[in-house]
């Protein structure tokens, strides 16, 4: 006999499927709405314009007109953005120039930021005749002097004495850049120029005497520590000095003539010491027949490196040609050489002061300054 299942079988009720399913009918209210929608669709289709060759231009204009109402607001917005941006930019520029003008001409700022601004924007500090003098050149001249006294001399410019000294440095710097502007005019008029090669040669000559350091790094360190200069700054200052010297040399015909006459006499066998005591402009050696009074070596910083370079190429009893030291013309003679040191004498012809040529130009075309320095 078979065992019965523990789970009783579920009885599934049987349903009778009707032979005919009745159709669902749509309510009359919905049928009315459907008819209205169909009618509107038919009407819209009937009202669509017919585009022909004759009406294509008209329809194109109609479409474009519909689009313009969206384009015009966008164009207007762009114009507003441009106008607002331009206005803000102009306002920023005006505020920036106002700020710089106050800092430079009222407060006379010498900050690194303002110095950088003057390197980009040519603010004037003065006018020397027809030439503008840049504020940048004034700050360049002033900042290296201030750096020297602050770093090397430990001077406090906030004290009463310090403020007075600072005012003097400011006046000296202003006078110098105005002077430089007139010198450039004289140089241009007399076709005097200084090339980069001349500047490089001058730097090499000074460095050959170990005056600014024996290596490139030491050279850079000396310039930075003493004057706050880079090598380019030093070359710039040196170029202006050379231009001044070459301008004087070109204009001072009298000194050139005196030196040439003395050289002719030395070449003709004239007594060097006697000639020096008669015509030399060096009062400290003139009475001794031009004798330096000391043994010279290559490290002697009291003697111009150009002179030392020539002296160590001469033999005892030989005399040099005319040596231009920048500030004077010299004729040198080696008396003897002992232990690598030279015993020598010289005849010096000093150039006229540059002011002799600048002052008439200043009187004719007076300078005008745009800052006032309180020296009291």
User: Distance between CA 242 and CA 193 in Å, rounded?
Assistant: 9
Phi and psi (nearest 5°) for 106? Answer: -100, -50
Helix (H) or strand (E) holding 197: helix 196-208
For every one of its 376 residues, what pLDDT tens digit does the chain have, with 9 covering 90 and above?
444 444 444 454 554 555 555 554 555 655 666 667 666 666 666 665 565 666 666 666 666 666 555 555 655 577 778 888 899 999 999 999 999 999 999 999 999 999 999 999 999 999 999 999 999 999 999 999 999 999 999 999 999 999 999 999 999 999 999 999 999 999 999 999 999 999 999 888 877 766 676 688 888 998 999 999 999 999 999 999 999 999 999 999 999 999 999 999 999 999 999 999 999 999 999 999 999 999 999 888 889 989 998 999 999 999 999 999 999 999 999 999 998 899 999 999 999 999 999 999 999 999 999 999 987 6
Query: What residues contact 119, with CB distance under 8 A and at least 6 apart?
Result: 136
User: Distance between CA 58 and CA 191 in Å, rounded?
Assistant: 77
CB 131 within 8 A of CB 139: no
Task: Give me the residue spans of the domains in the chain.
Answer: 112-251, 255-351
How many alpha carbons fall within 13 Å on the CB side of residue 262? 30
CB 259 within 8 A of CB 322: yes
User: Distance between CA 72 and CA 45 in Å, rounded?
Assistant: 31
Q: Which of 91, 116, 90 is nearest to 103 (CA)?
A: 116
Outline where DSSP puts E strands in the chain. Answer: 124-128, 131-134, 323-324, 328-338, 341-350, 367-369
Q: Which residue has the tokens 């030196």?
A: 259
**Under CATH, which architecture does the 255-351 domain have?**
Roll (3.10)
For residue 189, give both structure tokens. 């008029």
Instruction: For residue 207, give Cα distances in angstroms to 4, 203, 295, 320.
Output: 123, 6, 21, 23
CB atoms within 10 A of CB 142: 22
CB 139 within 8 A of CB 115: yes
The pLDDT tens digits of the residues spanning 201-220 come to 988 887 776 667 668 888 89
Q: Which of 330, 326, 292, 281 is nearest to 310 (CA)?
A: 330
User: Distance between CA 245 and CA 188 in Å, rounded?
Assistant: 14
The sheet with strand 367-369 has its strands ordered as 131-134, 124-128, 367-369
CB 136 within 8 A of CB 119: yes
Query: What residues contact 171, with CB distance under 8 A and at least 6 apart?
Result: 373, 375
The pLDDT tens digits of the residues spanning 307-348 come to 998 999 999 999 999 999 999 999 999 999 998 899 999 999
- CATH number given to 112-251: 1.10.4030
For residue 57, give both structure tokens. 């231009």
DSSP 331: E
Tell me the whole-structure pTM to 2 decimals: 0.75
How many alpha carbons fall within 13 Å on the CB side of residue 191? 0
The pLDDT tens digits of the residues spanning 82-92 come to 888 899 999 99
Query: What residues contact 316, with CB distance under 8 A and at least 6 apart?
Result: 334, 335, 336, 337
User: Distance between CA 173 and CA 171 in Å, rounded?
Assistant: 5
User: Distance between CA 110 and CA 145 in Å, rounded?
Assistant: 12
Q: Which residue has the tokens 């114009």?
A: 79
């Amino acid at each position: 006999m078979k065992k019965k299942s523990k789970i009783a079988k579920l009885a599934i009720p049987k349903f009778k499927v009707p032979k005919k399913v009745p159709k669902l009918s749509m309510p009359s209210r919905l049928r009315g709405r459907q008819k209205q929608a169909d009618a509107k669709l038919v009407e819209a289709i009937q009202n669509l314009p017919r585009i022909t060759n004759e009406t294509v231009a008209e329809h194109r204009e109609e479409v474009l007109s519909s689009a313009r109402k969206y384009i015009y607001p966008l164009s207007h917005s762009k114009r507003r953005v441009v106008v607002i941006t331009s206005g803000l930019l102009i306002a920023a520029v005006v505020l920036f120039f106002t700020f710089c003008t106050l800092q430079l001409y009222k407060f006379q700022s010498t900050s690194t930021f303002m110095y950088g601004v003057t390197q980009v924007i040519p603010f004037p500090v003065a006018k020397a005749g027809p030439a503008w003098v840049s504020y940048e050149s004034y700050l360049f001249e002033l900042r290296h002097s201030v750096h020297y006294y602050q770093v090397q001399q430990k001077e406090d410019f906030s004290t009463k004495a310090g403020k007075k000294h600072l005012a003097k440095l400011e006046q000296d710097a202003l006078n110098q850049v105005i002077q430089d502007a007139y010198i450039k005019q004289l140089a241009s008029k007399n076709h005097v120029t200084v090339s980069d090669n001349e500047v490089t040669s001058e730097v090499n000559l000074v460095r050959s005497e170990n005056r600014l350091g024996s290596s490139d790094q030491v050279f850079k360190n000396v310039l930075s520590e003493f004057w706050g200069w880079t090598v380019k700054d030093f070359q710039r200052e040196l170029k202006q000095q050379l231009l001044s010297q070459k301008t004087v040399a070109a204009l001072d015909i009298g000194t050139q003539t005196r030196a040439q006459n003395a050289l002719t006499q030395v070449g003709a066998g004239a007594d060097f010491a006697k000639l020096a005591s008669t015509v030399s402009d060096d009062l400290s050696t003139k009475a001794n027949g031009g004798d330096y009074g000391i043994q010279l070596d290559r490290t002697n910083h009291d003697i111009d490196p150009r002179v030392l370079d020539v002296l160590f190429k001469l033999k005892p009893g030989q005399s040099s040609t005319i040596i231009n030291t920048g500030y004077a013309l010299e004729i040198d003679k080696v008396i003897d050489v002992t232990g690598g040191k030279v015993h020598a004498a010289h005849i010096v012809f000093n150039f006229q002061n540059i002011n002799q040529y600048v002052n008439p130009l200043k009187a004719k075309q007076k300078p005008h300054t745009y800052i006032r320095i309180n020296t009291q």
